[in-house]
Amino acid sequence: KAGVTQTPRYLIKTRGQQVTLSCSPISGHRSVSWYQQTPGQGLQFLFEYFSETQRNKGNFPGRFSGRQFSNSRSEMNVSTLELGDSALYLCASSLNRGEGYTFGSGTRLTVV
Amino acid sequence: GEDVEQSLFLSVREGDSSVINCTYTDSSSTYLYWYKQEPGAGLQLLTYIFSNMDMKQDQRLTVLLNKKDKHLSLRIADTQTGDSAIYFCAEKGPGNQGGKLIFGQGTELSVKP
């Protein structure tokens, strides 16, 4: 059974650019959540999608957005990148929004 | 409020037991989780416990939950050098925030041979 797949693994962008990250959940999982991990702030919740609808959103500016497709794959987008957006972005999927969230390996974004 | 606290470091000898502790604030939490993160990797789900349980055992891992004190612990028996990693405690967000996990800062476990 394939795990959660995140692409790309590494990304370098320039300030002001935008970026799109992709997450393919485990087959059959309908809930996809996104987290930002930084040394200073730790793991912070970005948003959650379930059946193509955003169900929860964390305390991030509107530059951070996401969506989920009918096959449960999800993308997150960050516009007008800032140096502080440099982080490991992790995606997690779950069958029923509760038991056992499985995480992907993450996308490491560096903004220069 | 939402807050999960962990001690930052733990050092043990190979073969000893490790106990990583965590406190949380939301008494309505239904699920509590332990994740492991190795350098450069994502989070690996180790185990989780439902809030109506006191204990859960899975091979070398034992989770104890004290709901009254809002205290969760993870015991690793016969700790190996391969267990060296950062361990995160997390609680499931309440009510309509069910898809959100609230993480502690992580405990860095160092296992010395």
* Radius of gyration for chain A, computed over Cα atoms and rounded to the nearest angstrom: 13
Residues B109 and B82 sit within 8 Å (Cβ to Cβ): no
Query: What residues of B are in contact with residue A43 (Cβ under 8 Å)?
Result: 88, 90, 101, 103, 106
Among A42, A101, A102, the residue with its CB nearest the CB of B106 is A42
Q: Does an H or E element contain B20, and which?
A: strand B18-24
Tell me: pLDDT of B98 over 80.
no
Task: Give the model confidence (pLDDT) of A16-65 as tens digits.
Answer: 999 999 999 999 999 999 999 999 999 999 999 998 999 989 999 999 99
Residue B96 is given by DSSP the state: G
Of all residues in chain B, what percent carry a pLDDT higher than 70? 93
Task: Give the model confidence (pLDDT) of B74-94 as tens digits.
Answer: 999 999 999 999 999 999 877
Residues B72 and B29 sit within 8 Å (Cβ to Cβ): no
How is the beta sheet containing B55-58 ordered, strand by strand?
Answer: B4-6, B18-24, B71-76, B61-66, B55-58
- Name residue A46's amino acid: L
CA–CA gap between residue A97 and residue A31 (Å, rounded): 6
Interface test with A, best of B2, B86, B101 (most A CBs within 10 A): B101
The arithmetic mean of pLDDT across residues A68-86, rounded, is: 97
B100–A58: do the CB atoms touch at under 8 Å?
yes
CA–CA gap between residue A77 and residue A65 (Å, rounded): 5
First to last CA, chain A: 37
- Per the listing, tokens 């391969």 go with B82
Please, which pLDDT band fits residue B97 given cuts at 50, 70 and 90? low
**pLDDT at residue A97, as a whole number:** 65
Task: Give the model confidence (pLDDT) of B48-61 as tens digits.
Answer: 998 888 999 999 99
Q: Which residues contact B68 (CB under 8 A, 6 or more apart)?
A: none
